[in-house]
Every structure is written in C-alpha cells, then in structure tokens.
Structure 1
C-alpha cells in the first residue's frame, strides 16, 4: 500500500491555509498541484541550464537540449509509444486537438464525417465544428444516456465509410465516466476511420498504453498530471504524422528556407515551430518521473476508495442529486443540492478552505442534456484522503442550513 502522507509531503501547497483553514484541494479536474521535484527541476533549469535548444553549439544549449529531449523519451516510455518522435510537445490538450483539426483536417474533403460524443469538453467540440465549417465536413454526435454513459449501439450505426475521424474523451471531466475507448477504436478502425483520444483526465488516474489501445492520436495536458501549465503532448502514429502538413510555420520546423520554397523538418520538429516551452517540457518529464514512482494499480485503488467513500457520505445529505452515475467511473463527483445554487455552495466552501469547482466545467452540452446550469464538482487526486472528505462533508452540513434559511 502507498504511504499517502509521504506522497502529500512532496506537495508544499497542501500545507497552505485558506481563510485560516487547512487547504482541502478537490479541484484536481481543473489542475493538479505540483510536487517539489517538479518545482525544483524548473528552478534548476532557469538558474543553471537556461538556453535555447536544438540550435546552439555552446554547452548550456547542449545541456538544455539533452534535458528537453530526455523528457520526451521519458514520456514515450511511459505511454508506450513506439518512437520518441511520435511525442509532439504542445501547449496542452486544447492545442493538441487543434493541431490535429488543422493538420489532419487539411486531408479531409467535403462530405467526410467526424464523430464526437455528447460528453466532450468544449476543446473537443469547437475545433471540429470549425473544421466542418472550413472543409464542408459533417459532425455527428454519439448520444449519452441519463447515467452519463455513451450509447455505443448508436455509435456503431453512425459509423460508415464516410467517417474519417472519431474524437472522444477517455474520461469525462464533468461526470467521471470512463469510456470504453478500446471498443470505440476497434469499431472505428473497422470502417477505416482514425481515432483521437482526449486523455486530459485519464493519464494521471489509469495506466495508458497507446500501442495497446491502438489509438491514432492521444492528447493530454501537463498541468493535470502534476506538471507545469502551458505544456502538453500530442501522441500520433508515425505514418499519420508524416503524412500531415505542418500546423504552424517558423523556426525549428524547417530543413531549408528560400524566398520561394521551404522544406520541412522531420518529426517531431515539423510540428514544433518556434522556441518551445523548454522549462515546461523539462518539468513535464519530471512529473512523469513522479508518476513512475507510483504503482498505478495502487493509485486506481486509492482513488476508487475515495470516490466510493465520498459518494456514500454525500448520499446521506438530503436533497442531493448526482450527475454522472456510470457503472465505470473514476474520481469525479458532480452534484447539486436541491434549492441551492452551486456558486453559493462553492463560495462558502472556499471560506472553509475547501476548493471545488462550480459551473458547467466547459461541458455545456452535458448540462443542457440534464437541464441544469452547472454542478458542484469534487475531483480527487492521489494526495487526497478520507479525512479531507470528512471535512468536506461536515462543511456541507454547516453550509446547507445557512443557505436554506
């Protein structure tokens, strides 16, 4: 079993107080906290290694380049990619999805179809809407049932030879649903479609092996897996990435430039125009080293235990309504309390040192289906504890009478 207190000791912000109360951080779906190893690694880069990468012959440049590319190698190994050049550094999940929408999207023709689901984050909706408007493609939607589960039998009927791409979330950020992406990938490939998996909410909670999944693209953000903000990864199969035109032009993505023609660099540099977020990439590599120090089976067990414990405790609160009751879900609880606005609940919880998320969580179509403006969302990470859940429940028990009077 993991020593959760030892893990917590690696996260200095968990010792902070908010409004004089010990911090209880249940907003991990929005961003996770950072271990000291990541913070120190970024500081070390700026104090001892700071230089631009890939272009310099001097020592600092070579050291920074090595550290940055070692981070790429660490990530490649962790997610099981076949080649390190299949790891494209991006600004985050949103940037990765937009890269595919613009680059792979250039290969699409009028009448081609893209399938997404009704539970997607806006970042996995809007880029495809923009692509369909630009290219004359059609966007089709996998519906979701009242439990927050995708209706996969409808998905199978949506698939056809016109389907060129299926883009779905691995785990719903607002409902916690773990989708059966293995079946989605298999069914999609049977009709020749490519598959993009939004892994922003999954890679920190479950083991991900992109070759075992056989997905064509996998995207995620560093800041949701204990790494820095402003950095993320697009994994793509080598043959696909080689066939896609670059998304942006500029330095580092070129082989040769003349005033009449430019030839593009090899992977991964073809998709990494300009000076990258060097410190972010190095910090992300360290975040994956932190993940490597954990046993993912223990992580899954701990977070599932927290989810079950918190759900059972919340069930005892009068007037509570849960949103997202899939048979297979992870450490996210979305709920409302009858007669109370989620914003008011979230504000008073903050006064007690408890951080939760309130609102539509960038999934407005999900809220529209349930005919609600938003929810209160508690999302857990490896450093959270049952004791924190108890504090959360007691705070709600204090808040509810105040707001109802």
Structure 2
C-alpha cells in the first residue's frame, strides 16, 4: 500500500446504553469485586483465642509465655493477656472447650497452696525458702502437724538407724549443721526438728497438677521420727518448718554432700541374723553385706523363708544409700576386702536342697563402716583386713 492510497475505515458499532455494555461482558472483566466486610474487635479476639485452642489440641498443653520458641511464646503471652481481662474471659467462654479460662479454686490448706504455686515461687531455683542468711523469724506452730502423725508400723526397721546416727554424733563421725535448703531433702537424709530426729525414708512419686499457666510438681515424703511416729508431709512443707524452727541437718564428717541432682543407684545394707541355729547363733560379729535397688525393708520381708538370710528373721543394723555409682560394684569390693572371714556353712532351702550362703562375714560392724568410708575417699587400696586383729591395716604393715 502506498501513501496516496485511500484507507478504508473500520466500522465500530457502539452499544446503545451502559447496561448493554455490562450485558456484553461475558468474561466478567467489568465486574467490581465486593468490598470485604469489616472485621469486628470481637471476631479478632475469637480468632486469636481459637489459635490458642488449636495449640492446646495439637500439643496437649497450654502454650508457654516464657519458652524460646517464638510462635509458642506469642500464643502464651496472648493467653496471659486474656486471663487478665474479665471481659475477654466472658466473651470467649463458649469457645473454651479445654477449660483454659477457668479460675482455679482457692486452696483449702497450706499444702494445696504450695501445690498450686503456678509461678514456681516456692520452687528450688527461686531460693525463697533458703532463709539461712536472713534474720530468724520465730513462728509458733500449733499441734495440727503433730496430730497428723501416725505410729510407724515398721519402726523396728528404722530404730537401729537412729541409734547409729546418735552414735556417730557422739564419736564425731557425724555432725549437726544448720538446715541448708530444700536441695538437701533427699531419701536417706537425717534432720532434727524441734529436738526430734527424723529420717527421710521415702520420696513419693512426683504429683503433677496442671493449671492454666503451667504444670507444677510436688512430692510427698515418708518422714519417720525417732519417737516411733511418721508423717507424709510435702517436701516444701518440711522445708518451711525446718527454716522457721531452726532445723538442723545431720551430715557425716568429710563425706560429700548429697543433693537432689545426685542419682540413687541402690542400697548397701548390713544385717544381723536372729537365727536360733546353734552353728549360727553363737557367732559374734556375724553380718550379711548385700545390695538392692529396691528398699531394704521390702528386700528382707520374707527373710525367714530364704537360705540367703540363713532361713531366719534379720535386723537391719546399717543401710547406705549409694549415689552416682553402681551399688553392686561397691558390694563386690566389700566382699573382696572381707573374703578371708566369709561364713562357711551349708543350709537346706525350703525344697531340701543344700545352699551355701555367700554374703555373710564375721567382721565387726564398725570395721564395715570404716571400709565404706575408705572406699568413698579412695584410700581403700592402701588397706587390707587383718582377721586376727579384726581391723583394717595398712598394706605395708
């Protein structure tokens, strides 16, 4: 086509009206998107709370506002903010399928109050119960705690332990110190409360109590007193009483302290036989040295039926709780030290079969104590047992 050629016009037909234009828009190019409805403050609150609910459903716990996980920490802080506002709690009540907004009941006792310590203010890390550096605050307790004590049904098993501890205090192998704090309330520990010695026989299973803020834990103790009674107060309750009433702890001289982080590995026990068999009853200083991972009391429950215990009842004359070491290895070492004075006797078990008890030794009780202390200090390698002198002697003698 040249420049002087005529250009034919293009016919364009315009619609007659705007409605016709809209009707002809079969692809929706002229459609106007609907403006989204404005979200209300209540809807935002409900959406925010439902995210917390979904976290609880997925993880089985409420989100923590102190964790290092940023997403969880945001949800935890959000829940804390809701719990601090009564209006928000009321508005979200119908969405609270897990009871996250429920207000806990007021504690009925001091133990319940300690157990509901949502912010762990009375926990070990806070140090609030360690008041050894503060001025003494005298507090008179009524007889409620004493009234809750009961007679210990198996006190005969613990009585030798109290006698042993009194003997150690007299000869200086143990000493009294001011109550040092809750970390020292562990199984096997001895304390003096209002002039009465007590023994931590057991620490019960940890009880967990969930609240909307955190999960608390607490343990009941079995405290046996030298007057033949026992109680089952919580660890925190005993800690408070020992702090308020100038309680004392009994510790062995020059032996490392035991803390709650130390792991109980077993028990070494020393027994005395009550056998009436003439070949056994007349042997002086006859002791069984054994170990158990369970409690000593349960281990010897049916002693009279077992040739291991010479088919007779036994008395516990000493019990040593071992920490962070293999109790069986300590037992084997003690057996090697006293191998020359092992009891040589054969008995018949309940089925009539001969049995040679291997853990009974003719050795004074105080020598066994000395051997255990030398093992703990690491000096046992320089000693041997002199059966004639009935004492541990230096190897070079």
Report the TM-score, using the length of structure 2 for normalisation: 0.24
The one of the two structures with greater contact order (alpha-carbon pairs below 8 A, sep at least 6) is 1
Structure (1 or 2) with the greater helix fraction: 1
Looking at CA atoms only, which structure, 1 or 2, has the larger radius of gyration? Answer: 2
